[in-house]
Amino acid sequence: MNKREFISTTAAIGLASMMPLFSQTNNKFNIYDLNNTVNQSGEYQLPKLDYSYDALEPYFDAQTMELHHSKHHLAYVNGLNTAHKKIKEFIETGDFSTIKHWERELAFHGGGHFLHSIFWKVLSKKQTKPSKNLEKYINNSFGSLDNFKKLFKAASNSVEGSGWGIMHYEPISDRLIIMQAERQGNLTQWVTFPILPLDVWEHAYYLKYQNRRAEYIDAFFNIINWDYVSDQFENILKLYK
């Protein structure tokens, strides 16, 4: 009996408690190239990086990259799996008394897992440029690539406490916007696609840049993987055009 048959059989004979913790996924989500963030049995997993920890030196140092990926990101993956497990238990027991806490955990660790997964992808030392179409959107939305950098830097640099600066595509207005996200998601809005996230938590830069977040942001501009950003932007546009 394969897994799918097992699920339908157990459901059919009413053994809901025997259902696997995570439902199987199709892994057909093409945007962001993030299929390696969930395994075949539906559990979240730490994605492998497309490059070595020292690949972004001297902009992002190897020690920070290793800690950031193998410790910090892994903690979000584990936290997200735990939150799913707990919420599944609530469904089974009917006791939702601590749901508020675990919904916060779900959002916090889920935000952490997916933003970091995209963050690793938007980094490269290949000296790439935005595609023609993305450049057109950047120009229409901000005036120029230079203006984009000014706004992105100001927004990222002024995030209060831990969080992110993120360029999003907003389908409703068909333009790009830049938003801050406190922690892993506060201050965001819905129905937008993050296409260029920058982690501005201290753990992302403190070893090398200490309190000089602005220098860290400048370093980031040197290693943006515009090929990836452009490709994912095109994938998102295809959903709407």
Instruction: Give the span between the Cα atoms of 30 and 51, in whole angstroms.
Output: 21
Closer to Mn ion by CB, 61 or 199: give it: 199
Closer to Mn ion by CB, 170 or 202: give it: 202
Helix (H) or strand (E) holding 148: helix 145-157
CB of 85 to Mn ion, least distance (A): 23
Residues in 38-57 that interact with Mn ion by CB under 5 A: none
Strand partners, 169: 176, 193
Residues in 135-174 that interact with Mn ion by CB under 5 A: none
With beta carbons less than 8 A apart as the criterion, state whether 184 and 108 touch. yes
Q: In what order do the strands lie in the sheet with 193-199?
A: 175-182, 163-170, 193-199
Closer to Mn ion by CB, 122 or 204: give it: 204
Instruction: Give the span between the Cα atoms of 169 and 59, in whole angstroms.
Output: 27
- C-beta nearest to Mn ion: residue: 199
Closer to Mn ion by CB, 105 or 199: give it: 199
Q: Could you tell me the two tokens for 24?
A: 């199987």
Closer to Mn ion by CB, 184 or 232: give it: 184
Q: Could you tell me the two tokens for 104?
A: 């916060």
CB of 37 to Mn ion, least distance (A): 15
Residues in 188-227 that interact with Mn ion by CB under 5 A: 199, 201, 204
CB of 235 to Mn ion, least distance (A): 24
CB of 120 to Mn ion, least distance (A): 10
CB of 116 to Mn ion, least distance (A): 6
Closer to Mn ion by CB, 142 or 164: give it: 164
Instruction: Give the span between the Cα atoms of 60 and 54, in whole angstroms.
Output: 8
- Per this entry, what is the length of the chain? 241
| Residue 68: partners with Cβ closer than 8 Å, 6 or more residues away | 116, 199, 203, 204
Q: Could you tell me the two tokens for 129?
A: 């440029």
CB of 220 to Mn ion, least distance (A): 13
CA dihedral 218, 219, 222, 225 (to 10 degrees): -110
Closer to Mn ion by CB, 68 or 168: give it: 68
Instruction: Give the span between the Cα atoms of 18 and 30, in whole angstroms.
Output: 31
CB of 185 to Mn ion, least distance (A): 13
Counting residues that bind Mn ion (by CB under 5 A) gives: 3
Binding site for Mn ion (CB under 5 A): 199, 201, 204
